Copies of this chain bind each other. A is one copy, B any other.
Amino acid sequence: MILGIDPGLANVGWAVVARDRGETEAKLVDWGCIESKSGERMEKRLCLIYEALEKIIDKFGVKEMAVESLFFARNVKSAMKVSEALGVIKLCGAKKGIEVFDYTPLQIKMTLVGYGQAEKEQVELMVRHFLGLEEKIEVTHGSDAAAAALTHLFTNRDLLG
C-alpha cells in the first residue's frame, strides 16, 4: 500500500494506491482530503493533520509514502506554512516506520504524462487511465495525491504496493 500525499495546510489530499502480485495495473484503494480550518491555532491544525494521517496509515497498512514536493516562488509566507504541515506529514511517516519519498511536480509530469510541461488536466487524465477509473476523483487534491503515489510505483517497478 502506497500513500500518496498532496501537501497543504487547509487541504491535505491523500490517496492509497496498491498493486497486487502478478498484476500490472494499479488500483485506487481509497482517497480523501484532510481539512483544517484557518481560524484554528496553527499547532491545533498540525495536530489534526497528524492524527488523521496516523489513522489512514493504520487503517490501510501503508508501507510507503510518496509526497509531492512543494514548489513555490511567489508567496513565501504561504510556502512556509505549508512546509510546517509537510514536516508533520513526514514525521508521521517516520513515527510509523515508513519511508517518505519526495517527487517534484516535474518528476510526476514526466512519469505519468512523459512531458514536463503537461497541464493539470493531462495529469488527471493519466491518473484515471493508470487506475482504470471512468470518473473523476471528485475530492480536493485527491487526484494529485494519487499522481504522487503512481509516480512512486512506476519509479520503483518492483514494488507491489
Contact = CB atoms under 8 A, between A and B. Distances in A.
Interface of A: 41-44, 46-47, 50, 70, 72-73, 76, 79-81, 83-88, 90-91, 93-95, 99-100, 102
A79 B70 CA distance: 12
A98 to B, nearest CB: 8
Nearest to A80: B83
Contacts of A99: 41, 43
- Count this chain's copies in the assembly: 2
Contacts of A84: 83-84, 86-87, 90
Nearest to A9: B87
Determine the main DSSP class of A at the interface with B: helix
Nearest to A98: B43
B87 A83 contact: yes
21 contacts: A41-B99, A41-B100, A42-B100, A43-B99, A43-B100, A44-B94, A46-B87, A47-B94, A47-B95, A50-B95, A72-B76, A72-B80, A73-B76, A79-B79, A79-B83, A83-B84, A83-B86, A87-B91, A88-B88, A88-B91, A91-B91
Contacts of A95: 47, 50
Contacts of A80: 70, 72, 79-80, 83
